[in-house]
Amino acid sequence: MAVIKDEAFLEFVQFVFKWEGGYVNDPNDSGGETKYGITKRWYPHLDIKNLTKEEAMDIYYKDYWLRAGCDKKFYPCNLLMFDTSVHMGIFRAKQIAEASLSWQDFILRRIEYYTKIPSAQYYLKGWINRCLGLWKEIKSKGGH
């Protein structure tokens, strides 16, 4: 395990963990086995059921925070990119970021994209709640 000293990451990963909980194997989820948001689909070599929170943090830091360039972005862009990359993939997060005019627009575009996903019938309420959680988090820190 690497010792992560990036304070923004350490704060924002807690937001992600709030929404990405324990072990599930939902047949409606294309990711398959999932724990802390880490899926068997993208990490077939991992024992997902026994994944630790520390291992998940390492994956989030290397494969999402750094690869999405969150370490080079300012708040709230770094939080939005990180959470969206975890939930929708880095490619989609970058697409949404490039099209967005503000952080509010980013969140609304994310919700709009969710409505087009076939499995939205199962998960849309939770996805929207997560977006509202982002909105509240940013507003609580003085986002305009």
Q: How far is CA 101 from CA 1, 109, 121, 132, in A?
A: 38, 10, 28, 18
CATH code of the domain covering residue 50: 1.20.141.10
pLDDT of residue 25: 83
Structurally, the chain folds into a number of domains equal to 1
Q: pLDDT at residue 92 above 90?
A: yes
Q: Answer yes or no: is 5 within a domain.
A: no
- Domain limits at 107? 10-140
Peptide bond into 76 cis (omega under 30): yes
pLDDT of residue 63: 96
Q: pLDDT at residue 26 above 80?
A: no
pLDDT averaged over every residue in the chain: 91
Q: How far is CA 87 from CA 5, 141, 144, in A?
A: 23, 22, 24
The pLDDT tens digits for 31-63 are 778 899 899 888 999 999 999 999 999 999 999
Q: Answer yes or no: is 22 within a domain.
A: yes
Q: Answer yes or no: is 2 within a domain.
A: no
Q: pLDDT at residue 144 above 70?
A: no
Q: How many CB atoms lie within 10 A of CB 75?
A: 15
Q: Answer yes or no: is 34 within a domain.
A: yes
Per-residue pLDDT, averaged over 6-15, amounts to 93
Q: How far apart are CA 121 and CA 124, in angstroms?
A: 6
Q: Answer yes or no: is 86 within a domain.
A: yes
First to last CA, the chain: 37
pLDDT of residue 32: 77
Q: Answer yes or no: is 4 within a domain.
A: no
pLDDT of residue 1: 59
Q: pLDDT at residue 89 above 80?
A: yes
Per-residue pLDDT, averaged over 93-117, amounts to 96
